[in-house]
Amino acid sequence: MHDSRMPQVLPVSKRGTITLPPAYRRKLGLDRMENPLVLAEEKNGKLVLEVAAAVPVRDIPEATIRDWIAEDEKAGEALRRKGLLKR
């Protein structure tokens, strides 16, 4: 069995599909999820994968959603001031 703490080379299909080895799926709990999701993000030239969860919007408190909107608006305004985002 492969030690999930060690880097492993994974083949990428022509369609971009990557299969996560069972040791990774077990360690991250993906094997216990009905419909597992993974968030993929490029950071500093590296591909970072994180376990993700889909949460229905109706289950998110309105105050949380308002906070997210306020944060997005603040970030957008900062980008506009720097000339990186047009109105």
The domain segmentation of the chain, as residue ranges, is 1-54, 55-87
Does the pLDDT of residue 1 top 70, yes or no? no
Q: What's the confidence (pLDDT) of residue 85?
A: 81
**Contact in structure between 10 and 18 (CB atoms under 8 Å):** yes
**pLDDT by residue (tens digit) across 19-61?**
999 999 999 999 999 889 999 999 999 999 999 988 888 999 9
What pLDDT is stored for residue 46 in this prediction?
94
The answer to whether the pTM exceeds 0.85 is no
Domain 1-54 has CATH 3.10.620: no
Rounded to an integer, the average pLDDT of 49-76 is 93
**Which segments within the chain are labelled E, that is strand?**
37-43, 46-52
pLDDT at 84 over 90: no
